[in-house]
Structure 1
Amino acid sequence: MQLKYKIAALSLLPMLLAVAVVCALVLVQNQRLGEQQARLIESSILTSKQAELKHYVEMALSLVSPLYDNEQDEAASKQQVLAVLARMSFGSDGYFFVYDRQGRNLMHPRQGELVGQDLWNLTDPKGLPVIQALLNSATSGNGFQRYAWQKPSTGQVTDKLAYVVMLDRWGWMLGTGLYLDDVDQAMRQVRKEAAAGIRATMLAIAAVALVAVLLVFTGGLALNVREQRLADRKLQLLTQRIVSLQDEERSRVSRELHDGISQLLVSIKFQFELAGHQLAAGGDQGLQTLHQGTERLAAAIGEVRRISHDLHPSLLDTLGLPSAIGQLVAEFEPRSGLQVHYRNGLGDTVLDDGVAVALFRVLQEALTNVERHARAQGVEIDLDGQGHWVRLQVRDDGCGFNPRHLDNVKSGIGLRNIRERVEHFGGRFALTSTPDGTLLEVTLPCQGLGPPAPAGA
């Protein structure tokens, strides 16, 4: 996978993970709130139904109380109470029922087939012994009991809430109930609305996440295109600069060969030809002319060595960086007229070839800039190292400059070359310039400072 795709993945995955966590939290919280709302509504409805049931039972008791209190003809009073309760109803499914303590049904206006039957062991679909639970609620409970019973209007078994009381003197249980299918419907509606709210919230979060992903993708794509164009531009400029530097170096070598070596060789050729003619003619000046040609040949050899040294100083391969810098300083001082103070803190330590060449080229660039632009009187060069680092400092007392010119395309090529060379080796580059002078500091990593080179190497 390419780096840009890895970066895109690293930017999108945490956001998608955060969105997923938020969705999970919202889902759990909404479900919890929906269930709490449903329970609250159910409790409110049941409370109102309980109050309604107590009102119905109290009304029935107020009607039958005169008969219940009549102790003269108890059998007739019982029949009259049952008749009164059988005629009382409310709504399509509201009625009263009466049982004795043994669970035998005494009156049921909607299901006459139950009258006279022993229903003590009757259970609802959930396994609840209904009559026993009603009697327990009437005698020792608060009178309310929830169970499942057949609804007369539909014939379906439905949850029912009943309220029962005991007529202790007769041993009867009197009660009535309300079916709770409307409560179940209300609960289903509440849960349905809660689910719809959760879906709407999830869709909203998904839409926001999608928009965020699209924005991140679009921004990343635009940034990638911009960075790609900028990288291509920098690569193009770097290629052009490399080609220009190569052409400049070739032109310099060509000029030195043409103006130096070529002219010396032509002069030597003429000297040897003249010496040959003079010797053939028996003249006394032939040996002197031959001697002059030999001296010029030695000068040509020295010029070849100088050009070779500029391209790659041989002392780097033989005596190491400190000696090569010493030779460079010895050549630079008389040529530039500047006073150079060179401090070698490495001794004769031999560095890695790549690090040694890089530091030597950095010093060449630095001294060239000082000679051309600094208008300095003196230069200080410090070379030292410790552990796995080697440091080169070049300080001049010139007029200084603005370090921001380092990023100028049309200027500061030498300084940019130094920085790029240092960055290539993973080193540190620091440049400080004031009107009193400039300090260039370069630190490069190495495999460790090696032992000094043996004598004669």
Structure 2
Amino acid sequence: MKLRYKIILFAIIPLLLAFLGIALAVLHQTTLLAQQQRSTVEQAYMASKEAELKHYVTLGMAAISELYDSDKPDAETMERAKEILSRLDYGNDGYFYVYDMHGNNLMHPRQPELVGRDLWELTDPEGNRTIQNLIAKAQQGGGIVPYMWEKPSTHKMAPKMGYVVALKKWGWMLGTGIYLDDVDTALNKIDIQVAKNIQSTMFWITGIAVISALLIALCGLALNISESRVAEAKLKVLAQSVVRSQEDERARLSRDLHDGLSQLLVSIKLQIESGLAKLMSRPAQEDAAKTSFTRATMQLNDALGELRRISHDLRPAMLDDLGLAAAFEQLAGEFAASSSLPVHFEARGHTSGLSEVGNTVLFRVAQEALMNIHKHAAQVTEVSMLLSGDARQIRLLISDNGAGFDVAGIAGNPKRGIGLSNMKERLDTVKGQLEVHSNTGGTQVIASIPSGKGART
């Protein structure tokens, strides 16, 4: 993994860990607050229910207080009291009930089938002895007793809060109760709402974390792209500088060879020829001297020819002196002479719109293309070069009538596509383009470079 990607990764991971820690802390605090809220609401509900029950019992006691305080504790008075209490109800499930201290039901307006039954041993689904607990609380002075009882409106067991008092003079336990399933429903709604709030909070934290990570990744990607573009621009400038340096060095070496060594060799040749002429006047040594000097003269001619070839390959003087078209015409003539292949060169339009670097690049591309034809092209009998130009670009077309080759295969082979790669890299330094088309009818190499400023960047 590249260093830039590691830096982005090391920036994202701590951020995500921080968001994870925040999410866990928020979850813990939210859960704790929800529990406290539930407990507070439950206590408030219970306190209100307790006060309500105490009020109901007070009303019930007030309703029968005249009978209870009378001096006639006979059966008729008690029956009148039970009748009054049976009519005191509130809502569908609010009623009063009466038991004696032995667990016998004396009055139950909602479940008359219980009247007269001994319920001392009655237990709820949790195993609690309901009636015994109610009587015990009444004998202790009265108060609240939680228990499970069948709800008349649904005929299902439900939690209930009862409030009981003892009527000692009559041996009664008077009580009433409120079912708590509505409290449980309210508390469940609170739990559901809290769970939704926690889920929503976690969703927002997750969303913010993901968006933050994406923003960091995108910023890193944008930075990488920007750096890549800057690096690419710097590489292009460096490549142009290298090419320019190479060409300057080649031009300097070409001048040195031509102006220095070439002139020295010419001077030596002239001196040899002069010596040869002088020896011609001495018949005794004429033949030997003539042979020696003639061989030396031939070798000097070969050296001068090789020197001119090297100097021209390094930097053709005609490219600087007469321009691109003349240099190409000379190149075509030299290639035809060395390869024995006829080369037709033609120049059209305005072909002097390139910079010195652009001219050099296009000339090197032409050299590379002709060298490839000479070395690799099969069944070639004719080569043509067309140099054309306008206000937008300078275009060079080199074509042959050979058997062609697989362009994609050669370009994808690093060992065989060096020539094409060199041409493309040279053209890239001046924002040029290279196109290669090949089939059984021949091959076309097209190199184009923007005119004016495009070729100078």
- Which TM-score applies when normalising by structure 1? 0.53
**Amino acid in the other structure paired with 2:138:** A
- Between stretches 255-264 and 145-154, larger displacement belongs to 255-264
Take 2:10 and 2:126, find their aligned partners in 1: how far apart are those partners? 55
Take 1:265 and 1:149, find their aligned partners in 2: how far apart are those partners? 129
Is 1:84 matched up with 2:71? Answer: no
Q: Deviations over 1:107-148 (max 9, x none)?
A: 212112222323233222233322233234334486112222
Gap runs ≥5 in structure 2: 285-457
Q: What is the CA distance between 1:89 and its match in structure 2?
A: 1.6
**Amino acid in the other structure paired with 2:48:** S
Q: Counterparts of 1:50-449 in structure 2 under 5 Å?
A: 50-70=50-70, 73-140=73-140, 143-259=143-259
Q: 1:150 to 1:85 in 2, by over 3 A?
A: same
**Amino acid in the other structure paired with 1:45:** Y
Is 1:22 matched up with 2:29? Answer: no
**Amino acid in the other structure paired with 1:101:** M
What RMSD in Å do the two structures reach over aligned CA positions?
A: 3.6
The SS at the match of 1:55 is helix
Take 1:92 and 1:161, find their aligned partners in 2: how far apart are those partners? 16
Q: Deviations over 1:280-308 (max 9, x none)?
A: 979xxxxxxxxxxxxxxxxxxxxxxxxxx
The SS at the match of 1:242 is helix
Take 1:28 and 1:107, find their aligned partners in 2: how far apart are those partners? 51
Take 1:165 and 1:46, find their aligned partners in 2: how far apart are those partners? 19
Contact 2:141 2:166 in 1 (8 A): no
Q: Deviations over 1:337-393 (max 9, x none)?
A: xxxxxxxxxxxxxxxxxxxxxxxxxxxxxxxxxxxxxxxxxxxxxxxxxxxxxxxxx
Q: 1:238 to 1:276 in 2, by over 3 A?
A: same
Q: What is the CA distance between 1:264 and its match in structure 2?
A: 5.5
Take 2:139 and 2:269, find their aligned partners in 1: how far apart are those partners? 142
The SS at the match of 1:89 is coil
Contact 2:141 2:165 in 1 (8 A): no
Contact 2:142 2:166 in 1 (8 A): no
Q: Which residue pairs with 2:416 in the alignment?
A: none
Q: Which residue pairs with 2:31 in the alignment?
A: 31
Q: 1:66 to 1:240 in 2, by over 3 A?
A: same
Contact 2:160 2:177 in 1 (8 A): yes
**Amino acid in the other structure paired with 1:113:** E
Q: What is the CA distance between 1:253 and its match in structure 2?
A: 4.5
Q: Deviations over 1:15-34 (max 9, x none)?
A: 34433443343344333333
Q: What is the CA distance between 1:104 and its match in structure 2?
A: 2.6
Q: What is the CA distance between 1:151 and its match in structure 2?
A: 1.0
Q: Deviations over 1:382-427 (max 9, x none)?
A: xxxxxxxxxxxxxxxxxxxxxxxxxxxxxxxxxxxxxxxxxxxxxx
Q: Which residue pairs with 1:48 in the alignment?
A: 48
**Amino acid in the other structure paired with 2:188:** R
Q: Deviations over 1:223-255 (max 9, x none)?
A: 332222111111111222222333334444455
Q: 1:236 to 1:255 in 2, by over 3 A?
A: same
- Between stretches 151-160 and 7-16, larger displacement belongs to 7-16
**Amino acid in the other structure paired with 2:220:** G
- Which TM-score applies when normalising by structure 2? 0.53
Take 1:52 and 1:182, find their aligned partners in 2: how far apart are those partners? 15
**Amino acid in the other structure paired with 1:42:** E
Q: 1:160 to 1:252 in 2, by over 3 A?
A: same
Q: What is the CA distance between 1:175 and its match in structure 2?
A: 1.0
Take 1:278 and 1:139, find their aligned partners in 2: how far apart are those partners? 161
Take 1:211 and 1:81, find their aligned partners in 2: how far apart are those partners? 73
Take 2:205 and 2:142, find their aligned partners in 1: how far apart are those partners? 48
Gap runs ≥5 in structure 1: 283-457
Q: What is the CA distance between 1:74 and its match in structure 2?
A: 4.7
Take 1:111 and 1:274, find their aligned partners in 2: how far apart are those partners? 153
**Amino acid in the other structure paired with 1:187:** L
**Amino acid in the other structure paired with 1:55:** H
Q: What is the CA distance between 1:213 and its match in structure 2?
A: 4.4
Take 2:277 and 2:127, find their aligned partners in 1: how far apart are those partners? 141
Contact 2:142 2:165 in 1 (8 A): no
**Amino acid in the other structure paired with 1:229:** R
The count of corresponding residues between Structure 1 and Structure 2 is 284
Take 2:192 and 2:88, find their aligned partners in 1: how far apart are those partners? 37
Q: What is the CA distance between 1:2 and its match in structure 2?
A: 4.9
Take 1:19 and 1:228, find their aligned partners in 2: how far apart are those partners? 32
Instruction: State the identity %.
Output: 48
Contact 2:73 2:170 in 1 (8 A): no
